[in-house]
Amino acid sequence: MKTAILVDSTASLSQALQAHEDVYVVELSVIDQAGNVYTDTTDVVKMHSFYQQLRQTDTLPTTSQPEPQSILEQFQRLIDKGYERVFVLPISAALSGTYNTLSLAGQHFDSEIRTLMIDTKGTSYKIEHMVRQLLAMLRAGYEEATIIEKLNWLADEGKIYVVVDDLNNLVKGGRLSKTGALLGSALKIKPVLYFNEKGAVEVFEKVRTMKKVEQLWVQLVQSATRQYPEGFDIAFAHGDVPEEAQRMHQVIDQSVADLACRSGYLTPVLGVHSGAGALGMGILPKVIEVAGDGYVEEAQ
């Protein structure tokens, strides 16, 4: 069965995955205070420029999910190319209406293409990891029911932790409760956030320094080595602080060596909410080995 994979732009796909003949992307957008609309991007130069501007503005940009018409057109293109089935892995349904919009489009074309919706309960490199795992399962000839079961397991088990410089962006964007933000501001702490079992953002731990963040994340990775004996990857996504991501990778590597790692930017749509200076870590268990292990750190 000819199968496509559809994600949104927050997945931060590598260039290789973006070029894959069966992988497709729908773009979210950033809207600045003047009403200018910018398509989400994984271009490093454009992302760096976005974060520079974000640091200098007092008015937070807004974000927009893909236009319903553009999604319908994407589905039609898949049908025209002869695809019979599409796995759709968008940003967490708890964070964006993108999931529901894609689901409605799939229902619209249900007589022409089989649409399999997966709530990733995350974003960024967690989705990219799931795409790589999905491609490997398709190559290995896994049955559809098994693939769905394992993708849902990856969504449930894959963990994302984030430390941000300014919690107000998340509150203004509706991604974090005011209580969580007030807690951080009042006590002058750096809350470590995480994506909970529903894919929503909550406060995971309260620490005061990045050194404490390092210690906490090392403990989480060490715990994962026991929890996932068949292996896992890690990923670091940042808001224009590549040196922080690199340093954190070195700290983790000294504690748990030989983990495949991916490191790079949070796309602008994610950056609107997490802010400049944010740093996230994903602990991403595997259900199948990926030949050649393309999960490598990019120079950024």
pLDDT of residue 206: 85
pLDDT of residue 204: 92
Interatomic CA distance for residues 48 and 94, integer angstroms: 27
Locate 166 and state its tokens. Answer: 């300014």
CB-count exposure of residue 32 (10 Å: 0-12, 13-18, 19+) = middle
In this predicted structure, the answer to whether residue 295 has a pLDDT above a threshold of 80 is no
Interatomic CA distance for residues 202 and 38, integer angstroms: 28
What are the residues facing 35 on neighbouring strands?
none
Task: Tell me, rounded to whole angstroms, the distance of Cα 58 from its chain centroid.
Answer: 26
Spell out the domain ranges in the chain: 3-27+66-157, 159-285
pLDDT digit string, tens, across residues 89-115: 999 999 999 999 999 999 999 999 999
Cα pseudo-dihedral 171, 174, 180, 183, rounded to 10 = 20
pLDDT tier, 299 (very low <50, low <70, confident <90, very high otherwise): very low
State which amino acid sits at residue 69.
Answer: Q
pLDDT digit string, tens, across residues 125-178: 999 999 999 999 999 999 999 999 999 999 999 999 999 876 666 555 554 555
CATH number of 159-285: 3.30.1180.10
Cα pseudo-dihedral 52, 17, 221, 171, rounded to 10 = 40
Interatomic CA distance for residues 119 and 122, integer angstroms: 8
- In CATH terms, the superfamily for domain 3-27+66-157 is Dihydroxyacetone kinase; domain 1 (3.40.50.10440)
Query: With contact defined as beta carbons under 8 Å apart, do 220 and 283 qualify?
Result: yes
pLDDT digit string, tens, across residues 181-235: 555 555 567 789 999 999 999 989 988 889 999 999 999 999 999 999 889 999 9
Cβ neighbour number for residue 2 with a 10 Å cutoff: 12
CB-count exposure of residue 54 (10 Å: 0-12, 13-18, 19+) = buried
**Once rounded to an integer, what is the mean pLDDT over residues 253-281?**
93
Phi-psi group of 63: left, alpha or beta (phi > 0 → left; psi -120 to 50 → alpha; rest → beta): beta
pLDDT of residue 297: 42
pLDDT of residue 135: 98
* Nearby residues of 59 by Cβ (< 8 Å), 6 or more positions away: 33
In this predicted structure, the answer to whether residue 277 has a pLDDT above a threshold of 70 is yes
In this predicted structure, the answer to whether residue 123 has a pLDDT above a threshold of 70 is yes
pLDDT of residue 300: 37
In this predicted structure, the answer to whether residue 180 has a pLDDT above a threshold of 60 is no
pLDDT digit string, tens, across residues 30-58: 999 889 999 999 999 999 999 999 999 88
Does residue 29 or residue 257 have the better pLDDT? 29
The 3-class secondary structure across the chain, one letter per residue, is CCEEEEEEHHHCCCHHHHCCCCEEEECCEEECCCCCEEECCCCHHHHHHHHHHHHHCCCCCEEECCCHHHHHHHHHHHHHCCCCEEEEECCCCCCCCHHHHHHHHHHHCCCCCEEEECCCCCCCHHHHHHHHHHHHHHHCCCCHHHHHHHHHHHHHHCEEEEECCCCHHHHHCCCCCHHHHHHHHHHCCEEEEEECCCCCEEEEEEECCHHHHHHHHHHHHHHHHHHCCCCEEEEEEECCCHHHHHHHHHHHHHHCCCCCEEEEECCHHHHHHHCCCCEEEEEEECCCCCCCCCCCCCCC
In this predicted structure, the answer to whether residue 237 has a pLDDT above a threshold of 90 is yes
In this predicted structure, the answer to whether residue 274 has a pLDDT above a threshold of 60 is yes
pLDDT of residue 23: 98
Interatomic CA distance for residues 229 and 40, integer angstroms: 36
Report the percent of the chain where pLDDT is more than 70.
89
